[in-house]
Amino acid sequence: MEKKFETMLLHSVKKEKKPIKSKITPIYQTSAFTFDNLDDLEGFYQGEGNYLYSRTGNPNPDELGQAVAAIEGAPAGVATSSGLSAILAGVLAVVKSGDHIIAADDVYGGSFHLLKEELSQLGIETTFVAFSNLSKVEDSIKPNTKLLYTESITNPLLRVENLEAVIDLAKKRNLHTLVDNTFATPFHCNPYLLGVDLVIHSATKYIGGHSDVTSGVVVGREDLVRLARAKVVNLGTNVSPFEAWLTCRGLKTLALRMKSQSFNARKLAEAFLGNSNVAKVYYPFNELELGYGAMVSIELAKNVDIHQFFKSLSWIKIVPTLAGVETTVSHPLTTSHRALPPEASKALGITEEVVRISVGIEHVDDIIHTFEEAIHRSVLN
């Protein structure tokens, strides 16, 4: 019988089953995948098929997880909906209720809140310790400690973690390690190759690189990534196919962007060193000849009006995030580290005068001039 209009409207567009050799992976913007018969469907559950429902798996998120794993030198990876969900999946792949985590006290504010507030409600305890003194870390280990958690470059004061020493301590005490490598990126640092068990990225930042996507990635040991993937599926923290596709597109230019942005960041940091109205410059100058990452943080002198400074930045935007190709600034005390108790912020040195700068790919002379002008306009008479 000839189909009626309404039926034809839905079923006249047929999926092309012939192999199409697309240069770029297509966007599989579908909530589910189809099967020819019940035997075909059962085959999926027996491990004979790849995809059933996009929460449980989709070619675009899989491509993202595998791509970041490859450039980190890791055997496996899984993509998630954000950097924070990547942290959650990575942590829950290792710990359960009743377990204990030791985390660096200078981690990102969102990570601090997740570990201290949210995971504590699940019966997971976290102790925050200065990883600059690993003897204090070792002293904090309990019988139920399972994980050491830190960042390769900390947010926002850019302390470079001694990953080899952290790994040695973890192995000595039979603990797992999880490292947030967002700031360094795989261009500058590969924690997995040093011996870290799991590495996470807020792929929203440098992996995607263009401020148009929210995603995360967990890579590392195959057995642990398998557990992390199960958490992503069962907690519903999967990334959408389109977001994953955008992130993969951005990833391809990571090296080009990081070369330019790291060069500019080092030059900007050097210019700040000669400015009497800048009290402190936070940048890991001695790590690599061209610098170590594209982030610079400064503490303005007390004679600089912080509010006027932010008003005087001209084309440089104020944003609560980082890592796009444009230079941007943020105020950690009131944005990224707002969740920290005031005494913790003060102890770490995250004061009202601290400014976090995400350096872009503009001409470095324009970047330097704009910051110098903003500081000059903000000096109190």
Instruction: Give the model's pLDDT for residue 288.
Output: 58
Which is more confidently placed, 18 or 66?
A: 66
- At 39, is the secondary structure helix, strand, or coil? helix
**What does DSSP say about strands 278-282 and 295-300: parallel, antiparallel, or unpaired?**
antiparallel
- Cβ–Cβ < 8 Å for 61, 241: yes
Instruction: Give the model's pLDDT for residue 2.
Output: 82
36 DSSP assignment: S
Question: What does 268-326 look like in DSSP terms, one character per residue?
Answer: HHHHHHT-TTEEEEE--TTS-TT-S-SEEEEEE-TTB-HHHHHHT-TTSEE-SS--SSS
**pLDDT tens for each residue of 269-281:** 999 999 999 999 9
Provide the percentage of residues in the chain whose pLDDT is more than 90.
Answer: 87
Q: What is the mean pLDDT of residues 90-97?
A: 98
Provide the percentage of residues in the chain whose pLDDT is more than 70.
Answer: 98
Q: What is the mean pLDDT of residues 359-364?
A: 98
Report the distance separating Cα 126 and Cα 36, nearest Å: 49
Half-sphere exposure of 166 (CA within 13 A, CB side): 27
**pLDDT tens for each residue of 188-247:** 999 999 999 999 999 999 999 999 999 999 999 999 999 999 999 999 999 999 999 999
pLDDT band at 130 (very low <50, low <70, confident <90, very high): very high
**What does DSSP say about strands 216-220 and 76-80: parallel, antiparallel, or unpaired?**
antiparallel
**pLDDT tens for each residue of 280-295:** 999 998 765 555 899 9
What fold characterizes domain 38-251? Aspartate Aminotransferase; domain 2 (3.40.640)
Burial bucket for residue 305 (CB in 10 Å: 0-12, 13-18, 19+): middle
pLDDT band at 48 (very low <50, low <70, confident <90, very high): confident
Token pair recorded at residue 28? 């599989």
Report the distance separating Cα 175 and Cα 251, nearest Å: 31
The CA-based angle 209-211-213, given to 5 degrees, is 90
Instruction: Give the model's pLDDT for residue 274.
Output: 92
Instruction: Give the model's pLDDT for residue 111.
Output: 96
Instruction: Give the model's pLDDT for residue 19.
Output: 78
Residue at 72: amino acid letter = E
* Mean of the per-residue pLDDT values of the chain: 94
Q: What is the mean pLDDT of residues 112-119?
A: 96
Residue at 365: amino acid letter = D
Report the distance separating Cα 239 and Cα 67, nearest Å: 15
Beta bridge partners of 53: 32
**What does DSSP say about strands 100-104 and 125-129: parallel, antiparallel, or unpaired?**
parallel
Residue range 255-378 in CATH 1.10.150.120:
no
For 376, the enclosing helix (H) or strand (E) is: helix 364-378
The candidate with the shortest Cα–Cα distance to 78, out of 63, 92, 93, is: 63
Q: What is the mean pLDDT of residues 21-32?
A: 94
Report the distance separating Cα 103 and Cα 151, nearest Å: 9
Q: What is the mean pLDDT of residues 30-46?
A: 93
Q: What is the mean pLDDT of residues 55-77?
A: 97
Domain spans, the chain: 38-251, 255-378
Q: What is the mean pLDDT of residues 37-50?
A: 90
pTM: 0.94
For 41, the enclosing helix (H) or strand (E) is: helix 38-45
Instruction: Give the model's pLDDT for residue 343.
Output: 87
